[in-house]
Amino acid sequence: MSQQTDTRRIALVTGANRGLGRSTALKLAADGVDSIITYRSHEDEAKAVVAEIEALGGTAYALRLDTGRIEDFPAFTDEVRRVLKEGWNRDTFDHLVNNAGHSGNASIESTTVEEFDDLVAVHFRGVFFLTQALLPLIADGGRVVNVSTGLTRFTSPGKAVYGAVKGAIEVFTRYLAVELGPRGITVNTVAPGPVATDFSGGLVRDTPQVQEVLGGLTALGRVGQPDDIGDAVSLVVAPEAGWINGQRIEASGGIHL
């Protein structure tokens, strides 16, 4: 399908009711990009993000989605088609940001099969098959951004499975970039370092000692804020970034250099 350049761009951002996804959707709105955001729980937060986007002059919809439940993807795709037609009179959107996820914290020795399968289901299988389901709805010339982690380059105790599944996403990104190249769609990874969000129970956000230690490992001397990552994603999907493709872009303030 051809990209419809006579309208505002539209992004679909998963897990955007809080944290990095919320910041991404709001940064895109400030750049004139409308959004379909998803949430697994906390519908009130998602509605608040929609209201913030509307206050910035944009259009937004919030749809419930559990990225670990691939059996729900056909119905979700139908919902996306519905709101595209209702909100924009379109049958495509421009940017897919695969952000939704959660952390895991267990040593290799203590990781259970259930913990392993849960991280794979959300961070790899879910991203793969959700992207597959939505490919017909992404406009030619669009963008796909997969959110990874700095933990694919360096290690931290208890993050073996989480880092490994994000590593799989980085490989998937390169393969997807090749397959979508004929459609003019770029695919990149944004890999955050430590960010002050509620991720991992808000450990970085709520613990000054952790911020001091991790910030001291970065060249810029601080941990990241959600807007740092929202800014990075907005740069990658910008029209001027069309020659950046198949890349892992680490947004970490230069940690462990």
195 CB contacts (<8 Å, ≥6 apart)?
19, 20, 204, 223, 224, 225, 226, 228, 229
Look up residue 115 and give its amino acid. E
Closest CA to 145 of 238, 50, 223: 238
Tokens of 17: 């009711």
68 CB contacts (<8 Å, ≥6 apart)?
118, 121, 122, 125, 126
Which of these is catalytic: 39, 61, 162, 175? Answer: 162
Question: What residue ranges in the chain does DSSP mark as E strands?
Answer: 10-13, 34-39, 60-64, 93-98, 138-147, 186-192, 248-251
Note if 162 is an active site residue: yes
Which residue reads 């230069």 in tokens? 254
Question: What residue ranges in 29-170 does DSSP mark as E strands?
Answer: 34-39, 60-64, 93-98, 138-147
Residues with a catalytic annotation lie at 162
